[in-house]
A and B are shown apart, each in its own frame.
Chain A
Amino acid sequence: QLQLQESGPGLVKPSQTLSLTCTVSGGSFNRVAYYWSWVRQHPGRGLEWIGYILYTGITFFNPSLRSRVNMSVDTSRTQFSLILNSVTAADTAIYYCAKASRVGSVTEPFANWGQGTLVTVSS
C-alpha cells in the first residue's frame, strides 16, 4: 500500500525558506503518470493546491505561489521536496504531500495523502 510521509522543520522564521520532503514507500514512484503534489491547509481553513512534480522533474505550480515556490525530486530515494521562499505568517499551514495520477488522457485526483505536517512561520 502506497504511503507518503512529510518531514521538515516545524518552525520557520519570516523571510526565510520553508523546505519539506515527502518520502514515498510501498509503491511505484518512477511513473510519468504520477503527479507528486503538495497541498496546504491554513489553520481552520480550506485546502490549497500548491503544485506538482513528475518523477522526470517537470513541474506545474499554482500561479498564486509560482513566484516563490519550487519543487525537486530524488528518484533514488523516492522523495520529492517543496521549497517556498520568503515566507510570511500567511504561509503558516499544515502541508500535505499527495499523489494524483493520469490514466490515459484522464486525470485522477488525490487518492493518496501523507498525514500532513504543521509549519509555523514565526520569529
Chain B
Amino acid sequence: DIQMTQSPSTLSASVGDTVTLTCRASQYINVWLAWYQQKRGKAPELLIYKASTLESGVPSRFSGSRSGTDFTLTISDLQPDDFATYYCQQYDSYPWAFGQGTKVEIK
C-alpha cells in the first residue's frame, strides 16, 4: 500500500503569510494527488486535484505542485478562513489513502 506522509503536523502562521504544506508519497503516484481542506465539524472540501489543478470556486491563493513523489500545497496571503486542517490523498492506486493532515493554526 502507498503511504502518504504530511509535514508539518501543525503550522502556526499569521494572516497575510504564505505557507507551504508538504505531502510525500511512499511510491510513485504520478500526478494523482488531491488536497482537501477540513474545518472543525465539517466534511473535507476538495481544493486541488491532479497535483496542481484548482477545483472550481477555490481561491487562486491556493496552489499545488509536484516534484517526484513530493507534493506541496502553498497558501498565499493567508486569510482567516484558511485556518483549518489540510489533507492530501493519493488516488493513483488502491487502496486510496490520505495523509495524516496538517493543521494550520493562528500564531
**A contact residues vs B (CB 8 Å cutoff):** 45-49, 60, 62-64, 96, 98, 100, 106-111, 113-116
**B contact residues vs A (CB 8 Å cutoff):** 1, 32, 34, 36, 42-46, 49-50, 55, 87, 89, 91, 94-101
- Pairs A–B under 8 Å by Cβ, sample size 21: A46-B100, A47-B44, A49-B95, A49-B96, A49-B97, A60-B94, A62-B96, A63-B95, A106-B50, A107-B91, A109-B34, A109-B46, A109-B91, A110-B34, A110-B44, A110-B89, A111-B46, A111-B49, A113-B43, A115-B42, A116-B43
Report chain A residues within 8 Å CB of B34. 109-110
Q: Are A96 and B43 in contact (CB under 8 A)?
A: yes
Which 7 A-B pairs rank lowest in CB-CB distance, beginning with the nearest? Answer: A113-B43, A109-B34, A47-B98, A62-B95, A49-B96, A46-B100, A111-B46
Select one of A46, A111, A114 contacting B55, CB under 8 A: A111
Report chain B residues within 8 Å CB of A100. 91
Report chain B residues within 8 Å CB of A108. 49
Complexed CA–CA distance, A48 and B91 (Å): 13
- Label chain A's interface by main secondary structure: strand
Complexed CA–CA distance, A60 and B55 (Å): 26
Report chain B residues within 8 Å CB of A107. 32, 91
A84 shortest CB reach to chain B, Å: 16
Kindly report which residue of chain B lies nearest to residue A6, judged by CB atoms: B43
B41 shortest CB reach to chain A, Å: 9
Q: Are B95 and A64 in contact (CB under 8 A)?
A: yes
Complexed CA–CA distance, A54 and B50 (Å): 22
Report chain B residues within 8 Å CB of A64. 95
Report chain B residues within 8 Å CB of A116. 43
Report chain A residues within 8 Å CB of B45. 113
Select one of B1, B43, B101 contacting A46, CB under 8 A: B101
Complexed CA–CA distance, A96 and B46 (Å): 14
Complexed CA–CA distance, A110 and B36 (Å): 9
